[in-house]
Structure 1
Amino acid sequence: MQSLHDLGQEARQLATGKVIPIVPMSAAEDEVARVMQICNACRYCEGFCAVFPAMTRRLEFAKADVNFLANLCHNCGACLHACQYAPPHEFGINIPKAMAEVRGQTYVDYAWPPALGQLYKRNGLTLSLALVAALTLFLVLGATLQGGGLGALWGADLGRNFYQLFPHNLLVGMFAPVFLFVVFALSMGVRRFWRDIKPATSGADVSGAAASEATSDVLRLKYLDGGHGDGCHNEDDAYTLKRRRAHHLTFYGFLLCFAATAVATLYHYLFDLPAPYDFPSLPKLLGAVGGVMLMLGTAGLWVLNRQRHPLHGDVQQKPMDLGFIALLFLVSSSGLALWLGRGTPALALLLCLHLGAVMALFATLPYGKFAHGVFRTAALLRHNTEKRQPNPIGLGAD
């Protein structure tokens, strides 16, 4: 008699026409496979999020399946509170915790270059703040040496223009290589992730309809609704939309700040309109609105993260989560302070702090919590592609 594992492999191979190798799994991945087997028999949570319809298309859960499902999970907590087999039941089913542990492992395994993968385990709050302090000090020393002493840091006559302290070309020379490395490192990591999970998710190429739906899911943060539209769980059994709203403020605030930088670059190079900008210019409008949204969103995420019940995720990843939140808050708050203080003697110091925070954020992007958005987007693209294909086992919620 064939095992479920053999049946699942045969069904997958028939659907994709490819031989899918069996890769040894870690303890965290084994735990996800175990709980998914139990959930696949129960299916009470079938309508909660994308994880459970995707689960029903599988009879067994190999490494690629587990990594795919873990990054598809949005950690809303609804399944934990609905589960009759959750702790203290002897089955000990805790989907949010199991998925979070595998996600953390995914970031390490797919980091590029691989040698830097261990930075995920050390990219905590203390490291993030120490990096900001070190980079700010470096910029302060540079400004002091360039400007001829401490007078360059307090009360210097910069004419409300920080390019008088750090020329535009110097800033481009510092940030452009780091930005390009971030894009390349994240692209290499998600490319490997995509290559591994594609055969396990039907093997089909992404269609326009699948890409459109996945984009909508990402932009709306669809699966932070708790499965019923009432929001996520936090420290108790009550639903709350606070987490979804804080994520929206953070996400769109970050996008607006990035858009402000992009528009300012176009102004500078295409229209010969160098900074600084003020209202009602588009870069300033986008940056001010985005900065306020980002500051409010990250402050909300900080509070919610500190209040979250330990069963709702992997507590060992909290330092990484808080480090990323702190960096985003420092970038937004120092940017707003720099704008408001551009006519004060503190302009140079505020500029050094802001640039130090931005540099620290850029340096840690490929090896911090930012990566989860990239991998989750890839998982949503594969989910929306897979569900449009025939179900290989003839059973499921699609």
Structure 2
Amino acid sequence: MSTPQLDALTREAHALALGAAPASALTPEAEVARVLQICNACRYCEGFCAVFPAMTRRLSFAEADVHYLANLCHNCGACLHACQYAPPHDFAVNVPQAMARVRGRTYARQAWPRAAARLYERNGLVVALALAIALAAFLALGVARLGGGGALWRTPAGGDFYAVFPHGLLVGLFAPVAAWVVLALGIGLRRYWREVSAVTGAIAPGQAALADAGRDALTLRHLGGGHGDGCHEADDGHSLWRRRCHHLTAGGFLLCFAATGVATLMHYAFGLSAPYDWPSAPKLLGGVGGVALLAGSLGLGWLRLRRHPLHGDAAQRPMDLAFIALLALAAASGLALWAARGTAALPLLLCLHLGGVMALFLTLPYGKFGHGLYRGAALLRHHVERRLPDPVRLGGD
């Protein structure tokens, strides 16, 4: 390579490292590489979360490194508020926002099929609500066609929703949806895992790394902020409400899923068909799970609306709110359906609930839920790296 070319590359490298190049002129991956070069020289935030120890093991940041570190970031905002080079400084170092923009690209990059991911990414809230309404309307039309117009406002015998939708029909509707979700999530996770595995090589995670990653994921340790006081939301203050709402949402979702699993076992193994009366296991699990899911999702929605604009990617707001809205719709309609048992409102509420749940599951692989799997994979890679001999320098061309 000629001397002028080398000089040009040297000037470009210095511009990136010193923050002279405007962020708007860089790709999201290049912007992450730029800010991390500066962070690697500073090291003030080294103890804040898993991102910075992983960063210090690298001298440069290839695309695979950037996608790995972006999903390792929990967007607590601590590093932004502690950074002496944050905007309006000329270096304009904003790690949470740069990472958020790359994470949005990983959804579309790893998702299958990618066309669905792009549609959801650009019009998330509209797509989610339109899909839920369309599915609910389709189910309502089916009820009206099979049972007559009055079937949509008629009290089923004994409050049995199988009188509205036979059990076999519900299985036929949801089994293909479940298979699609598992397939799409599996392909996306495999793609992401293969990409980040290139960072450290094909090193099989041991039991200790799996245990540590599982602990961090379940406790949401890195949503505690840099010093364990919580995330920054709308200002410089700390709050643990984001972690609490995440726990409520995840716990509620799992309890509702467990209620469905227990009901399935009772139906097929013991011949006990729905509806189940209080205090049966499906009722207990579904009731507690529904309340937790509704409270957690509404809390996350409120916090998302109040979030500091420098903390995330504004372009992803519709996608984030879409996932939260579908969670809240599934929880609220499920609780309303429980309250409406034995009334004429049950058929319509059942159509709304089933439409919301189907829309939620069909969009799971293309938004925040898929990101949760990628973050778990990133945490696992982090704990694999921690066990490599030190010093080991990773990354590069």
The answer, yes or no, to whether TM exceeds 0.5 is yes
* Equivalent pair of 1:123/1:368 in contact (CA under 8 Å): no
CA distance in 2, matches of 1:114, 1:157: 42
- Name the counterpart of 2:101: 101
- Name the counterpart of 1:360: 359
Q: Where in structure 1 are there 5+ consecutive unaligned residues? A: 6-25
* Equivalent pair of 1:160/1:342 in contact (CA under 8 Å): yes
CA distance in 2, matches of 1:327, 1:336: 14
CA distance in 1, matches of 2:88, 2:40: 20
* Equivalent pair of 1:123/1:364 in contact (CA under 8 Å): no
- Name the counterpart of 1:80: 80
Structure 1 residue 114, shift from structure 2 partner: 3.1
Runs of 4+ in 1 over 4 A off after TM superposition: none
Structure 1 residue 276, shift from structure 2 partner: 1.0
| Letter in structure 2 aligned against 1:281 | S
- Name the counterpart of 1:278: 277
* Equivalent pair of 2:156/2:164 in contact (CA under 8 Å): no
Does residue 246 of the first structure (1) align with residue 206 of the second (2)?
no
* Equivalent pair of 1:158/1:165 in contact (CA under 8 Å): no
- Name the counterpart of 1:316: 315
Cα separation, partners in 2 of 1:125 and 1:96, compared to 1, 3 Å: same
CA distance in 1, matches of 2:154, 2:116: 41
Structure 1 residue 123, shift from structure 2 partner: 4.3
Does residue 234 of the first structure (1) align with residue 233 of the second (2)?
yes
* Equivalent pair of 1:57/1:393 in contact (CA under 8 Å): yes
Give the secondary structure class of the aligned counterpart of 2:158. coil
Length, aligned pairs only: 372
- Name the counterpart of 1:59: 59
Alignment of 1:164-243 (within 5 A): 164-243=163-242
When the two chains are superposed, the root-mean-square deviation of aligned CA atoms in Å is: 1.7
- Name the counterpart of 1:373: 372
Does residue 111 of the first structure (1) align with residue 111 of the second (2)?
yes
For each residue in 1:220-276, what CA deviation from the matched residue of structure 2 results, as whole angstroms up to 9, or x when unmatched?
011100021110000100000111111110011111111111111111111111111
Task: Decide which moves more: 126-135 or 92-101.
Answer: 126-135
* Equivalent pair of 1:221/1:244 in contact (CA under 8 Å): yes
- Name the counterpart of 2:20: none
CA distance in 2, matches of 1:227, 1:281: 43
- Name the counterpart of 2:21: none
For each residue in 1:178-237, what CA deviation from the matched residue of structure 2 results, as whole angstroms up to 9, or x when unmatched?
111111111111101111111203531110010011111111011100021110000100
- Name the counterpart of 1:125: 125
- Name the counterpart of 1:13: none
- Name the counterpart of 2:325: 326
CA distance in 2, matches of 1:158, 1:85: 67
* Equivalent pair of 2:233/2:307 in contact (CA under 8 Å): yes
* Equivalent pair of 2:40/2:56 in contact (CA under 8 Å): yes
CA distance in 2, matches of 1:172, 1:368: 25
* Equivalent pair of 1:132/1:360 in contact (CA under 8 Å): yes
- Name the counterpart of 2:22: none
Give the share of equivalent positions with the same residue, in percent.
Answer: 65
* Equivalent pair of 1:331/1:358 in contact (CA under 8 Å): yes
| Letter in structure 1 aligned against 2:72 | L
Give the secondary structure class of the aligned counterpart of 1:236. coil
| Letter in structure 2 aligned against 1:213 | D
Structure 1 residue 280, shift from structure 2 partner: 1.4
- Name the counterpart of 2:39: 39
TM-score, normalization: structure 2? Answer: 0.91
CA distance in 1, matches of 2:171, 2:122: 29
* Equivalent pair of 1:201/1:383 in contact (CA under 8 Å): no
Give the secondary structure class of the aligned counterpart of 1:204. coil
Alignment of 1:129-168 (within 5 A): 129-149=129-149, 151-168=150-167
Q: Where in structure 2 are there 5+ consecutive unaligned residues? A: 1-5, 10-25
Give the secondary structure class of the aligned counterpart of 1:217. helix
| Letter in structure 1 aligned against 2:359 | A
Q: Say which structure is richer in helix.
A: 2
Structure 1 residue 323, shift from structure 2 partner: 0.6
Give the secondary structure class of the aligned counterpart of 1:176. helix
Does residue 340 of the first structure (1) align with residue 328 of the second (2)?
no
CA distance in 1, matches of 2:195, 2:213: 19
